[in-house]
Chains A and B, each alone.
Chain A
């Protein structure tokens, strides 16, 4: 039987595996969620074309073409956590799966065969997700567009543009999912004793260069903004996107830093956690990147709120009822950020869960040597903290700095709210990250207990 045929047979059997089914469900969810926000963003974007006639009942942020860009940007930014989540699920795909691939390649399946299988395995959930994105978008529209009273609606009624976008989205998602899956397939190497070893790629030179390049671009963009008298929507949007990219690229490096710090600390849990972070910075690094971005957004939003309040104190007559309008905008932004945090926490659970599975045997051995349950939980908590709390708080501080520099917030207005915004942002981001990490630890408790049980000593 050719390697290709063997591969196909196995792929068929694999589809029934419950771990695989869960993976497919997660991918589908990620694709559906991200796709729905894309459709939402498109529907708002379409208002530029249809003119002012449809904006009667919409919230001012969406109705006014000047502010609309921010909402569209927000929708795009909310797609990022879903995308990272999807990549997380695709890239990990369980140690058992890579072992299976390793065994397949022993039987003669070529790399091309494996890529083909992976593409099908990835493309399918992409397609389902794309199809589901339609109904999910409709649910989103009901929540944000139909239910709220007039004047508070965030999403316009769906029109033909959305339908067309959906029809384009489905193949686009299928293709991108398939391509990512195929590009990521990594068969584990199988040693002569039949034990397989997962290949973990260390951070490449590109990973070093990209953040530096992005920092330069961000500085250029920020510089451009500072030197203009008038704000530029395009530059701002560009800056936002560059910041997101920079955050995502810096995530793994933050994890490496956290790992180095942990290794020097006293205590065996820190040592093990630190070494695990250093051995595989990418998995939790992805989540760290998202949380860094979330932190940045929080810092900027809270900073903006601070400036607004300072300005109001100085010139209350300028605002009147509009204060609610502006504050509402910032609160809506924070709500969106909170939602992104939830999705990021799911990425954290998936990533950490996979690492727990991978280290089943060493965890069981630790218990055999006499580690207490607390020791074992400490290792996990350290890893989750490194991935969530440090990036979140650092991002918030940086975001506040960015906002202050760019908006010239420390100028004529009184400083109290602006200054208070810094600790407020850090506190909010930090608390949210701690909440996310604690939730993740709770969800992973069973998996950890299983890894620590005696049966795991049998695991390869």
Chain B
């Protein structure tokens, strides 16, 4: 599976505040609804981040309101904070590097070393397809959820296409190895 890049909580909270002054609880709810694929934010993390941002002058306390429960602090974005948000959006996200993925390692091993490559490819394809099917079955609640789902599906699709291409390339390479081995007088498959 692909790795979702680590997103800075500060950047997300600042962006969420562009919508208007909010309470920490509302910010957490918004985040969890929008990015429901990621881990939900812990309250502690939200308040700690907000405090840090206030210290750095990127947010300010708008006012406190006394309600039926404990005191609620409303935070708002400062001009400095707004600049930071614009800079964040203005810089494109780093294309996630593939990294030493388990999928890649398994695929290379299975095909290159002849560990039931056809069976492996079929099983891996089945797993990806079933996940795609499951994702497609759930109707997205809103545009945000739909976008997140499409991203997941697109990555699964990319993996499947890579898998098919890899199988083709690697078995072609393996054929070459086998041919060279036969020519050299060695039995095919005895060495890799």
On whether A and B touch (CB less than 8 Å), the answer reads no
Q: Write the residues of chain A forming the contact surface with B, with a CB cutoff of 8 angstroms.
A: none
Q: Write the residues of chain B forming the contact surface with A, with a CB cutoff of 8 angstroms.
A: none
